[in-house]
Amino acid sequence: MQTTFHFGFIGLGLIGGSLARTLRSVFPDCQITAYDPDTASLSAALEDQILTTACSQVDSSFSSCTHVFLCAPVIINIQYLPLLKNLLPKSCILSDVGSVKTGIHNQIIAHGLEEQFIGGHPMTGSEKSGYSASSDHLLENAYYVITPSRHVAKEKVDAYVSLVKKLSAIPIVLDYEEHDRITSTISHVPHIIASALVNLVRNSDSPDEKMRAMAAGGFKDITRIASSSSLMWQQICLSNSAPIEQTLDAYIASLQNMKQAVHDKNKEAILHFFQEARDYRDSIPDRSYGPIRPNFVLYCDLIDEAGGIAALATILASNHISIKNIGILHNREFEEGVLQIEFYDADALEQSKKLLTKYHYTIYSRD
C-alpha cells in the first residue's frame, strides 16, 4: 500500500475535520492541505498541527495531492469540479464525503473525471457541526460507503478500500443510486421526522411553554438529531429529493394507517404496529455505527443530598473517565434513574457502568 500521502481538503467542518484528524493520527508524516472559507477553522487546524498548509483559495497547492476530499455541502462540492479538473494530476484520487451521491456522480461524468473519482460517505456524524466538533475517532467502527465511478480502475478502488480500513472504519462498496435510496430511508427522512416532531411541540405549546419545560427523556432522545446543521440538511433534501419524496410517501401512508387504527380502536392493529417495530428494532446489530451517531448514556439512581453529584463525578474523574454531559432528569416517563450521564465513547460508558456498580450505585442503560 502507498505510504507517502498528500491529502487535500476543500471544507474542514465536522466530517472534513474528523477525517483530517484521523489521517494525521494514522499517517503522522503525511502532508495535509486545506481550504475553507471559514478562516477560523483553518487557523484552529494549523494550531492543532493537523494541517501543513492552509489556503485562501483552491489553487496549485492542491496539484501535488494524492487524494482530494470534497467536504463542503453537497451542492457546493459540485461547483469545484471545473477548477479541480485542470488542477489535479490523473494519479490523484478525487473523493467526497457527502451523504447524497447521484448528483455529484452525474457531474463527474459531465466533467470527464470518472477515471479518478471514488465517491465516499462516512456514515457518522454528530448533532454538532463545524471543525470545533471534529475528532480523530468519529469514523471509528462507522460504515464508510464507497461509490466508485464506473470507469475508475479496480486497483484504485482496492487501494481506497484499504485506506478506509486504516482509518478503523468499515468500507462498503455500493452503486451510487442504491446508496441514495438507502440513505433516504435510514438517515434523511429520520432527520425530517425529528425536526417535524420538534416543530409540532413548538407550534402546539401553550404561551407559558409547559410542553417545552416537560419535553425531556424520550422526546429529547428521539429528536436529538434535529440539532444538526440546517444548511446541510437543506442541501441534502434538495440533492436527494426523489428518493426522499418516495420514502416520505411510504412513511405518511404508515401514519395514516395508524391514525385509522386509533380512530377505529383496532386493538389488534395497534398491538401489531408496536410489536413489529419493537422486534425489528431489537434485531438491528450494535456492532458498528450507522448514519446517526449513538449516544453513550447511562442513568443512575441518586439520593437527593448535598455533594451527591460531586461524589459520583469524583469517582469517574479519579479513574480518568471524562464526562461529556451530566444532568438531572425531571421527566422520567421513559427513563429509569434520576441522573443522566453522557460519555464520549463506548469504552468510557462500559468502564463507568462497572465502576459505579462497584460503588453500589444502581445503574440503568438503554440499548
Q: How many domains does the chain have?
A: 3
pLDDT of residue 120: 96
pLDDT of residue 331: 45
288 in a domain, yes or no?
Answer: no
> Domain boundary residue among 179, 197, 220?
179
> Domain boundary residue among 154, 179, 204?
179
Looking at residue 340, which CATH number applies to its domain?
Answer: 3.30.2130.10
331 in a domain, yes or no?
Answer: yes
Mapped onto helix, strand or coil, the DSSP state of residue 293 is coil
Which residues are CB-neighbours of 55 under 8 A, at least 6 positions away?
A: 33, 34, 35, 61, 62
pTM exceeds 0.75, yes or no: no
Q: Give me the sheet containing 363-364, strands edge to edge.
A: 323-328, 339-343, 296-300, 363-364
Which residues are CB-neighbours of 71 under 8 A, at least 6 positions away?
A: 9, 10, 11, 12, 13, 15, 16, 19, 77, 96, 97
pLDDT of residue 56: 93
Residues 234 and 251 in one domain: yes
290 in a domain, yes or no?
Answer: no
Contact 139, 22 (CB under 8 A): yes
> Domain boundary residue among 162, 179, 196?
179
Residues 75 and 169 in one domain: yes
Distance separating alpha carbons of residues 59 and 65, to the nearest angstrom? 12
Looking at residue 43, which CATH number applies to its domain?
Answer: 3.40.50.720
User: What phi, psi does 120 have (nearest 5°)?
Assistant: -140, 150
Looking at residue 278, which CATH number applies to its domain?
Answer: 1.10.3660.10
152 in a domain, yes or no?
Answer: yes
Residues 29 and 163 in one domain: yes
Cell of 309: 453529584
Residues 159 and 55 in one domain: yes
pLDDT of residue 292: 57
pLDDT of residue 247: 96
pLDDT of residue 294: 66
Residues 175 and 203 in one domain: no
1 in a domain, yes or no?
Answer: no
pLDDT in tens, the chain (367 residues): 556 899 999 999 999 999 999 999 999 999 999 999 999 999 999 999 999 999 999 999 999 999 999 999 888 999 999 999 999 999 999 999 998 999 999 999 999 999 999 999 998 876 677 899 898 888 888 889 999 999 999 999 999 999 999 999 999 999 999 999 999 998 899 999 999 999 999 999 999 988 888 876 668 778 878 887 788 889 889 989 999 999 999 999 999 999 999 999 999 999 999 999 999 988 876 655 555 566 788 888 776 667 778 888 888 988 989 888 787 765 444 455 567 888 888 888 889 999 998 888 888 766 5
**What angle separates helix 102-110 from helix 176-183, to the nearest 10 degrees?**
160
Residues 37 and 131 in one domain: yes
Residues 28 and 167 in one domain: yes
Domain hosting residue 16, numbered range: 6-179
Residues 44 and 80 in one domain: yes
Residues 143 and 171 in one domain: yes
Residues 234 and 85 in one domain: no
- Classify burial at 275, counting beta carbons within 10 Å of its beta carbon; exposed 0-12, middle 13-18, buried 19 or more: exposed
pLDDT of residue 359: 87
256 in a domain, yes or no?
Answer: yes
144 in a domain, yes or no?
Answer: yes
Residues 208 and 274 in one domain: yes
45 in a domain, yes or no?
Answer: yes
Residues 13 and 158 in one domain: yes
Quote the longest CA-to-CA distance of the chain. Answer: 68
